[in-house]
Structure 1
Amino acid sequence: MNDDTVKKLALMIAANCTRNSVLDDAVKTKAVSEEQMNQFNHQMSNRIYTFLTYLLNKPAEEYSVMIEELSKNYPEAWALPNLDQSLMNAVAKSSPPSLPH
């Protein structure tokens, strides 16, 4: 995947993971300043871009080293993720209608 596409994908992932979230709500209540949120967004998109670059464009041995390093910060106390219903609903609304059988 070319680098510009990976960068755009990283931005889309970062934006969709922060929109309408607890963090987004905190910004609205001023618990987090707009400047802090902009810094967070930039940091998140940089990290996602780096991860995607290793996942999609680096040789397997470099990707393996990246995963090994990231696994040092595995969030043991976090619940395992579920599919996000709001993202799935957005996709369903945008999907073309099914053809009749």
Structure 2
Amino acid sequence: MNLLEKKLITKYLDIFRNVPQDDSFIFIFSSTPEIINCKFGVCFKGKFQLYGSKELIRLSNILGLGDKNEYGFGMTSRDLYFFKKKISSQVI
């Protein structure tokens, strides 16, 4: 189990109080990431792909990957944040 997967499962446990049925999670950079030295340590910026549990991928898109999410680290593309997209006013 990789570090990002462990941290994501910990977040899942904190929220849902149980482990996900499918705990598979694979993170792969699509190209060489940009390495940035920042106040909190080393950060990586680049395009990546996620594979595995739909629950964990969705959670990573909402909460972010890795550490320091409260400071904006670990964020993915704004296009993946479903709650930032305009929601239709149509009632179902």
How does the TM-score come out when normalised to structure 1? 0.23
Which of the pair has the greater relative contact order for Cα pairs under 8 Å at 6+ separation?
A: 1
Larger Rg, first or second structure (1 or 2):
1
Q: Which has the higher helix share?
A: 1
How does the TM-score come out when normalised to structure 2? 0.25
